[in-house]
Amino acid sequence: MSHLHFAHSLWQAQVRPEDVVIDATCGNGHDTLFLSGLVPAGKVFAFDIQEKAIQNTRELLKKHGREERVALFQKSHVELRGVPSPPRLIVYNLGYLPGGDKGVTTQTNTTLESVRVSLEILPKESALSITCYPGHSEGEREEKALVEFLATLPSHQWTIRYHQWVNRLKAPSLFWIVRS
């Protein structure tokens, strides 16, 4: 099973057709497209700081006739508090844009700041999915900082799982955080 398939199966079980979901790092738009398929009567709000990522995502959505289900924002995910309805799921796919500038990667400080905002706006029974890429140095730092921070959250309010592929080198990991 691929990491993507694993993450998608969690999202699929979580999201209902009328839900609002947030893609905090849309990149080339593949996850945005997948999420838009889960909410035929809902909405996806997608963020990325790079113009190239927003363009690629817009094109992919257009190709599949999904652009009306998705609102795209060329903004940092630190600003995702502005989303008008409470989300059922927020998804982060950290790291850099595949095929893009490897210098522009998500950063530990802004990721933590944004994750704090996400936790504030998540209603009960809603979930946060964070894919980390510890195979590069900023990604490793980011993952460590997330483990430390998430370990401080109260267990009566948050169920937090941490998934790793034990025998795959440089594989991504995933945090799955659900509000009780």
Q: Which of 86, 154, 92 is nearest to 128 (CA)?
A: 92
Q: Which of 121, 126, 110 is nearest to 158 (CA)?
A: 126
Structure tokens at 80: 């995702």
**Of residues 119-138, those binding ligand SAH (CB under 6 A):** 133
Q: Does 36 bind ligand SAH (CB under 6 A)?
A: no
CA distance 66 to 63: 8
End-to-end Cα distance, the chain: 28
At 173, phi and psi to the nearest 5? -120, 170
Least distance between ligand SAH and beta carbon 7 (Å): 11
Q: Does 99 bind ligand SAH (CB under 6 A)?
A: no
Q: Does 25 bind ligand SAH (CB under 6 A)?
A: yes
**Contacting range for ligand SAH; rule: CB under 6 A; set: 32-40, 43-51, 143-151, 159-167:** 43-51
**Contacting range for ligand SAH; rule: CB under 6 A; set: 82-90, 97-105, 140-148, 151-159:** 97-105
**x/- map, 53-82, ligand SAH, by CB under 6 A:** x----------------------xx-----
Question: Which H, E and C letters describe 101-139, residue by residue?
Answer: CCCCECCHHHHHHHHHHHHHHCCCCCEEEEEECCCCHHH
How many residues interact with ligand SAH (rule CB under 6 A)? 18
Residues engaged in binding ligand SAH (CB under 6 A): 25, 27, 47-50, 53, 76-77, 93, 95-98, 104, 106, 110, 133
